[in-house]
Amino acid sequence: MVAVKGSQSGSHIGRTFVKFSKIKQHIYSKIASGEWPENHPVSSENALATQFKVSRMTARRALQELADEGLVIRSKGSGTYVAPLKSQTSFMAIRNIADEIRARQHAYEAHVHVLKQVPASLQVAEQLQITPETPVFFSVITHLENGLPVQVEERYVNPAVVKDYLKQDFRQITPHEYLSAVAPLTEASHQIEAVTPNAHVCEWLELTKPEPCLRIVRRTWSDAGVVTYAVLTHPGSRFVLGGHLTFKA
């Protein structure tokens, strides 16, 4: 395991994310509960800044991140509104796991096992569209809900797009949160399969014996190109993939 210490800049980013993460969780909860249906107006930057005791810039950043991810639509002069259901679908599939856990009023924490630079294998190079052996950033993080591991995230990051990835303290912010800020998502691909975890994944998930797991293989793009190639593994006994959709008659 690699001991990880947050830099001063990483700590500052972490504190900022904690502030606007609360705003994001508040808005998501309103939408998920049905209290704010599609096209419902969202609280203004000033109202959110007052409610959560943050700067207007922080409130604006939270709303803009939700807009970038497709949950809300911002219209200059008329405000921010809940996005139509069709627009929300891709966002719902790429939600930040910390937000999901906290929205359930559960405790979230992360264990960072690996955070280092490695040469790209043939498979990783193909996924990131780079030359084999090119240095890339690699992290392995276990996400926990109420102290129980629910996801192992193995992620390769393109340094040409995200140069400061290794400087972040991912016990304070998730890779999703950080990458959404520095390389906003423009495109993503998914592959979902049932697998039997290897010994390393069993250890990270604290499984006493192998059990069926759900694996999501994901690539994401920004305007600068492929950003990450990630493998997300969930223990079948602790994870349900699904959602709730409401359709108008």
pLDDT at residue 17, rounded to an integer: 54
Domain topology for 108-238: Chorismate lyase (3.40.1410)
Q: What angle do CA 22, 25, 27 make, to 5 degrees?
A: 110
Instruction: State the span(s) of the chain assigned CATH 3.40.1410.10.
Output: 108-238
- C-alpha span between 19 and 27 (Å, rounded): 13
Domain topology for 8-93: Arc Repressor Mutant, subunit A (1.10.10)
pTM for this one? Answer: 0.65
Q: What is the DSSP letter of 168?
A: S
Instruction: State the span(s) of the chain assigned CATH 1.10.10.10.
Output: 8-93
3-state secondary structure string, 176-224? HHHHHHHCCCCEEEEEEEEECCCHHHHHHHCCCCCCCEEEEEEEEEECC
Among residues 161, 179, 226, the alpha carbon closest in space to that of 69 is found at 179
Residue pair 99/25 in contact by the 8 Å Cβ criterion: yes
pLDDT at residue 148, rounded to an integer: 94
Tens of pLDDT along the chain (249 residues)?
444 444 444 445 445 556 677 888 788 778 767 788 888 999 999 999 999 888 898 898 888 878 876 778 888 878 999 887 554 444 445 678 898 888 778 899 999 999 999 999 999 999 999 999 999 999 999 999 999 999 999 999 999 999 999 999 999 999 999 998 899 888 888 888 899 999 999 999 999 888 999 998 999 999 889 999 999 999 988 776 554 444 444
